[in-house]
Amino acid sequence: MANILIIDDEQPIRTSLREILEYEGHSVDEAQDGVNGVIAARKKQYSVIFCDIKMPKMDGLDVLDMLKSKEVDTPVIMISGHGTVETAVQALKKGAFDFIQKPLDLNRILITLKHATEKEELIQETKRLHRKVHNSKSHTIIGESKAIKEIIQMIHTISPTDARVLISGGNGTGKELVARQLHDFSHRKSKPFIEVNCAAIPSELIESELFGHEKGAFTSAVKQRKGKFEQANGGTLFLDEVGDMGADAQAKVLRALQENKITRVGGDKEIKVDVRIIAATNKNLRDEIVEGNFREDLFHRLAVIPIHVPSLNNRRDDIPVLVNHFIEILAEDHRIDVPIIEKTALKMICEANWTGNVRELRNVIERLLILTPSGENISSKIVSKYSHFTKI
Dihedral over alpha carbons 73, 79, 84, 87 (to 10 degrees): -20
**Quick check: 136 pLDDT over 80?**
no
Q: What is the pLDDT of residues 363-378, one digit of tens each?
A: 999 999 999 998 899 9
Pairwise CA distance, residues 271 & 86, whole Å: 62
Other CB atoms closer than 10 Å to residue 63's CB: what's the count? Answer: 28
Residue 34: which H helix or E strand, with range?
helix 34-43
Mean pLDDT, residues 175-183 taken together: 95
Q: What is the pLDDT of residues 54-94, one digit of tens each?
A: 888 888 899 999 998 888 888 999 998 766 778 888 888 88
Structural domains of the chain sorted by starting position, each given as residue range(s) with its CATH number in brackets: 3-135 (3.40.50.2300), 146-309 (3.40.50.300), 313-386 (1.10.8.60)
Share of the chain above pLDDT 70, in %: 95
Mean pLDDT, residues 132-144 taken together: 66
Pairwise CA distance, residues 273 & 236, whole Å: 11
- pLDDT of 392 reads 53
Other CB atoms closer than 10 Å to residue 69's CB: what's the count? Answer: 9
Residue 221 burial (C-beta neighbours within 10 Å; 0-12, 13-18, 19+): middle
- pLDDT of 389 reads 65
Q: What is the pLDDT of residues 320-330, one digit of tens each?
A: 999 999 999 89
**Quick check: 251 pLDDT over 90?**
yes
Q: Are 378 and 345 in contact (CB under 8 A)?
A: yes
* Residues contacting residue 129 through CB under 8 Å, at least 6 positions apart: none
Instruction: Assign 292 a pLDDT band (cuts: 50, 70, 90).
Output: very high
